A and B are shown apart, each in its own frame.
Chain A
Amino acid sequence: MSLDQKQKIIIALATFFFITLIIVAWVEGGRRRVVKAPDAVVTSENKDCVDCHRVKSPGIVGQWEISTHAKSGIGCVQCHAAEEGDVDGYEHEGRLIATVVSPKDCAQCHEREAAEFQASHHASAGQILGSLDNVLAEVVEGFVEFDAQGNKIKASPAAVSGCLQCHGAEIKVLENGKLDPATWPNTGIGRLNPDGSRGSCSACHLRHNFSRAQARAPENCGRCHLGPDHPQKEIYEESKHGIAFAANRSRFEPMMEEKEWIPGKHFEQGPTCSVCHMGATKNLPITHDVGERISWTLRPPVSEKIDAAAIKAGKRVKSWQDRRKDMQEVCSSCHATEWVKNWYEQFDAAVNLYNEKFGKPATELFQMARKEGLLTPTQFDEELEFTYFYLWHHEGRRARHGAAMMGPDYTQWHGFYEIAERFYMEFVPQLREILAEARRHGKAAAAARIEARLNQILASDLHKWFLGRMSPGELAARKKAAEEFKKRYAQ
């Protein structure tokens, strides 16, 4: 074969090869589209939305495409469609839609979950208007502008970007039909929606892919349940539950997307928040009422059983004993009955200690000072108010939550130690100073009444050490133990 012929063959083969490369590029283009949305079903009514938003906000479409919703053909219109007369409904590309998707919308398909959620404490998290936290965010830290009739004209940024992002805002629709920027965007769990429903499913189920694995991750709850006043996420991470989850996370994660994620069946250790508080067990169904298995409320200045407030209000609710029984059923997936029983005794003892030694005395003395007129009616304008707030709202909760979730350091050093220091070194001295001031301003009788009660509390068994009145037996035992400790460390 001549060189010329070979050259022609080379040109022909190069052309064939080039054509196959073009086909490769074409296949690659097609594959990337398929890979991105392997099972997404775009129905005719959603097609326009998907086509347009794929260009304008591709993230939203990308999230949806990997969702279970997409596989079933549940798309934009099914959740965002509004009805004639809906206060937040507006015309968009020829269709009446609403931006806010409320639990009422989700209930079209997830009726049971929505009903459970509506009955939960989460659903009423948006009703915090009268709370001390709200006073702090709107008055002490921030500023709210009111008109003469008492209507809010301008919200406090501290509340809008802080409290309300977790608790939920009351979504307002402006006269022009747009959503009030002081209330939206907001996915707080107790959001008050324009359709009258409460809550936001996307607070936990991040839109638009609504992944189960994401909802089950501890970081999901940690969006709000963290920080100095309720560090549940940090306590969890300190606990053996958190340690076991962290150590096995990569093994668990592929399975956490499955519909069922039952302790003792699908995994053997390391439950996340949702597993204990909401998840199904071999005998319990899944629940979207996070309080269903909680027996104490660890939130207020003095802890009480979870059903106490409802009983006082004359309501019939699931008893704390039944709730505890359910939680113990969860515990029993991995722990023996005796272990669970003893652990609850330890937990109850820690809560009772907080209540009796610090919660009840501090609350009683603080309320007496307020009632006797030794504190101004204005909240948070005096040091004792902050001290008392720190005592129950920060350290007090840390100790109780630490005990509840098996975080020893939060129970002790971030908890009881700091409560004690706050009580003995700040609360008591500040109260005595207020009493002295009261005597100087002609309120000696009121001061005497409070002082008598303070002395009575300090003289009780729980506090008498502070007055140097420890019993001789305890003094001798502590002295002996201290000497042995010094000897052990050659001090």
Chain B
Amino acid sequence: MIPIGSALVRANDWLRERFPIDQQVLISMGSEPVPGHLKRWWWCLGGTPAYLFIIQAVTGVLLTFYYVPTPDQAYESVAAITNEVRFGWYIRSLHKWSANFMIVAVLLHMMRVFFTGAYRRPREGNWMLGVLLLLLTLGFGFTGYSLVYEQLSFWGATVAANILQSIPFVGPDLADFLRGGPTVGSNMLTRLFVFHIGALPTLMIVVLLGHLLLMRTHGVSPLGSPSGPDAKRFPFIPDHLFTEIAVALFLMFILTFLAIVFPAGLGPKADPLVTPEHIKPEWYFFWAFRWLKLMPEQAAVATQGLFIALIFFWPLIDARIRKRNPDSEASIWVGVGAVAFLLTLTVWEALYLLH
């Protein structure tokens, strides 16, 4: 009889021969010291969206087992998931709530990076990848909301296609591409489904890997003076890993709690012949919706595009400002202004819909 210890050694040797990866490298990668400020709980906002993305992926795969992306069965299949499939309501609610949390987490993470100046040289590229990740997250939200094929989500998608159409020059082609033709029909639902479960996840993973790679190569950005909290460093494993596990468990707890207390509901089925009295997007598009109501459509779309471009290229603009005035605090005021602007429009639209 072979002793267990000897068997394990042999198994380890067998594996190392076939997968010749230096385990010491892996261990050293995991135990790389990270700045002391990461010991603070609220410095976990980078890992939080990634964790929520994993929840989205797992619950999304489970939902795809039952979802049917055709206009005559989409709504019914969501209703079946909600009412008939075992634990379907829970999985769908987790998917919905984690999607909302992910948007909040991405926004908070970006605000933290922005207000601490962590986007500055040499991390401008990573900021831009982060903005792309935000846009992809919003894309997930839009396509996922539309797949439910209830009256509001259907008309939301229709309005979005019309907005797309108003973009100068490329708009009509982009709108045709999204709709799969000149009008909203079954092609659009198929395309939204393919975007939601194929194209967007692939892009998300590629950009996310790039984001993480740059983060690892640049290292975590330092905070404050060298004599501050970063004076001490600590290993990623187990210290920071434990923090991430605690955050993950807290998220699962709070998501499950919300799924129980506020499970994902289902409005009336989409009726292409009846326009609802109020068309309402998801809350994270309230600001854009309100902006559209405040000015002509083309002007609104153009200014929104400029706003996104401003966010995307802000590290470069900020560098120009700081080159002229190294002590400039313009970024803080721009950040506060942007947050106030978005919040005001969002609350305004929310209050309008409430009444």
C-alpha spacing A23/B83, complex, angstroms? 17
A-facing residues in B264-297 (Cβ within 8 Å)? none
- Is B120 in the interface zone, CB < 8 Å from A? no
Residues 1-24 of chain A, each 1 if its beta carbon lies under 8 Å from chain B, else 0: 101001101100110110011011
Mark the stretch among A26-34, A130-138, A150-158, A299-307 that contacts chain B: A26-34
Residue A109 interfacial (CB < 8 Å): no
Task: Give the docked Cα–Cα distance between A27 and B259 (Å).
Answer: 11
Q: Report whether B257 and A20 are in contact in the complex, using a CB–CB cutoff of 8 Å.
A: yes
The answer to whether B253 touches A17, judged by C-beta atoms less than 8 angstroms apart, is yes
Residue in B72, B83, B89, B242 whose CB lies within 8 Å of A10: B242
Q: List chain B residues, Cβ under 8 A from A10.
A: 242, 245-246, 249
Check: A471 CB closer than 8 A to any chain B CB: no
Q: Which residues of B contact A20 (CB under 8 A)?
A: 253, 256-257, 260
In the assembled complex, A490 has its CB within 8 A of some CB on chain B = no
Residue in A closest to B240 when the chains form the complex, CB atoms: A6
Residue ID in chain A nearest B76 by CB atoms: A254
Task: Give every chain B residue within 8 A of A27 (Cβ-Cβ).
Answer: 90, 260
Pairwise interchain contact B87-A14, C-beta atoms closer than 8 A:
no
Asked if A13 meets B250 with Cβ closer than 8 Å, knowing A20-B257, A24-B260, the reply is yes
Question: Does B13 touch A at the CB level, under 8 Å?
Answer: no
The answer, yes or no, to whether A35 is at the interface (CB within 8 Å) is yes
Question: Majority SS of interface residues in chain B?
Answer: helix
Q: Kindly identify, within residues 45 to 91 of chain B, every residue whose CB is under 8 Å from any CB belonging to chain A.
A: 72, 83-84, 86-87, 89-90
Residues of B within 8 A of A21 (CB): 256
In the docked arrangement, what's the CA distance between A262 and B252, Å?
52
Contact with A6, one of B243, B259, B260 (Cβ below 8 angstroms): B243
Q: Which residues of B contact A16 (CB under 8 A)?
A: 249, 253
Give CA–CA (A9, B83) in the complex, Å: 35
A-B contacts counted at CB < 8 A amount to: 50
- Once bound together, how far apart are the Cα atoms of A23 and B90, in whole Å? 11
The answer, yes or no, to whether A250 is at the interface (CB within 8 Å) is yes
Report the minimal beta-carbon distance from A356 to chain B, rounded to whole angstroms.
51
CB distance from B239 to the nearest CB of A (A): 7
Given A28-B87, A31-B89, A32-B86, also A17-B246 (CB < 8 A):
no
A9 partner residues in chain B, CB cutoff 8 A: 246
Is B112 among interface residues, defined by CB-CB distance under 8 A?
no
Instruction: State whether the Cβ of B39 lies closer than 8 Å to any Cβ in chain A.
Output: yes
Contact (Cβ within 8 A) A250 B87: no
The answer on a CB contact under 8 Å between B86 and A23 is: no
Known: A20-B253, A28-B90, A31-B89. A13 touches B84 (CB 8 A): no
Known: A6-B242, A7-B242, A10-B246. A17 touches B256 (CB 8 A): yes
For the complex, give the distance between the alpha carbons of A6 and B39 in Å: 11
Measured in the bound complex, the distance between the Cα atoms of B161 and A113 in whole Å is 53
In the complex, chain B residues whose CB is within 8 Å of the CB of A250: 72
Contact A3 B239 (CB under 8 A): yes
Q: Which residue of A lies closest to B243 (CB)?
A: A6
Contact A35 B84 (CB under 8 A): yes
A6 to B242, CA, bound (A): 7
From A1, A3, A28, A251, give the contact of B86 (CB < 8 A): A28
**In the complex with contacts A9-B246, A10-B242, A32-B86, A1-B39 CB distance below 8 A:** yes
Chain A residue at smallest Cβ distance from B247: A13
Interface membership of chain B positions 215-247, coded 1 if the CB is closer than 8 angstroms to chain A and 0 otherwise: 000000000000000000000001100110110
Q: In the docked arrangement, what's the CA distance between A250 and B86, Å?
A: 26
**Closest CB-CB distance, B53 to chain A, in whole Å?**
19
Cα A24 to Cα B259 with chains together (Å): 9
Inter-chain CA distance A274–B120, complex, in Å, is 76
| Cα A1 to Cα B83 with chains together (Å) | 44
CB-CB under 8 A for A24 and B246, given A1-B39, A3-B239: no
A13 contacts B246, CB within 8 Å? yes
Q: A24 and B253 in contact (CB under 8 A), knowing A3-B242, A10-B242?
A: no
CA distance A251 to B70 in the complex (A): 13
Q: State the CA gap A76–B252 with chains docked (Å).
A: 46
Q: How far is the CA of A27 from the CA of B86 in the complex (A)?
A: 11
Asked whether B87 lies within 8 Å of A13 as measured between CB atoms, the reply is no
Chain A residues with CB below 8 A from B39, complex form: 1
Contacts of B90 on A, CB cut-off 8 Å? 24, 27-28
Q: A1-B39, A3-B238, A13-B249 are in contact. Are A24 and B243 (CB under 8 A)?
A: no
Interface positions, chain A 216-256, Cβ under 8 Å from B, are 250-251
Closest residue of A by beta carbon distance from B234: A3
B89: chain A residues at CB < 8 Å are: 28, 31
CB distance from A33 to the nearest CB of B (A): 12
List residues of chain B with CB within 8 A of the CB of A35.
83-84
Interchain nearest-CB distance for A157 vs B (Å): 42
* Chain A 17-54 residues near chain B, CB threshold 8 A: 17, 20-21, 23-24, 27-28, 31-32, 35
Task: Determine the residue in chain B with the shortest Cβ distance to A17.
Answer: B253
Chain B min CB distance to A10 (Å): 5
Q: From residue B166, how far is it (CB to closest CB) to chain A in Å?
A: 34
- A14 near B86: Cβ-Cβ < 8 Å: no
Q: Given the complex, which residues of A lie within 8 Å of B259, measured CB to CB?
A: 24
Cα separation A255 to B256 with both chains bound (whole Å) = 37
User: B246 contacts A6, CB within 8 Å?
Assistant: yes
B262 to chain A, nearest CB (A): 12
Cα separation A14 to B253 with both chains bound (whole Å): 8
Question: How many whole Å from B55's CB to the nearest CB in chain A?
Answer: 13
Q: Using Cβ atoms and an 8 Å threshold, which residues of chain A touch B257?
A: 20
The residues of B that contact A7 with a CB separation of less than 8 Å are 242
- Minimum CB distance partner of A6 in chain B: B242
In the bound complex, CA of A459 to CA of B255 (Å) = 92
Contact of B249 among A17, A23, A28, A251 (CB under 8 A): A17
Inter-chain contact B256/A24, CB cutoff 8 Å: yes
Q: Distance (Å) between the CB of A234 and the closest chain B CB?
A: 28
Q: Nearest Cβ in chain A — how far from B98, in angstroms?
A: 14
Q: Please, how many angstroms separate the alpha-carbon atoms of A24 and B87 in the complex?
A: 8
Q: Establish whether residues B242 and A23, one from each chain, have CB atoms under 8 Å apart when the complex forms.
A: no
Q: How far is the CA of A17 from the CA of B72 in the complex (A)?
A: 38
A251 to B257, CA, bound (A): 39
Closest to A32 in B: B86
Q: How far is the CA of A24 from the CA of B83 in the complex (A)?
A: 14
The interface centre, meaning the residue of A3, A6, A27, A251 with most chain B CB atoms within 10 A of its CB, is A6
Instruction: Write the residues of chain B forming the contact surface with A, with a CB cutoff of 8 angstroms.
Output: 39, 72, 83-84, 86-87, 89-90, 238-239, 242-243, 245-246, 249-250, 252-253, 256-257, 259-260
Q: Which 10 A-B pairs have the closest CB atoms?
A: A13-B249, A20-B256, A6-B242, A17-B253, A16-B253, A17-B252, A10-B246, A9-B246, A24-B90, A35-B83
| 17 A–B contacts, CB within 8 A, in A order | A3-B238, A6-B239, A6-B243, A10-B245, A14-B249, A17-B249, A17-B256, A20-B256, A23-B260, A24-B259, A27-B90, A27-B260, A31-B89, A32-B86, A35-B83, A35-B84, A251-B72
Given A10-B249, A20-B253, output 6 extra A-B contacts at Cβ < 8 Å.
Answer: A10-B245, A13-B253, A14-B249, A31-B89, A35-B84, A250-B72
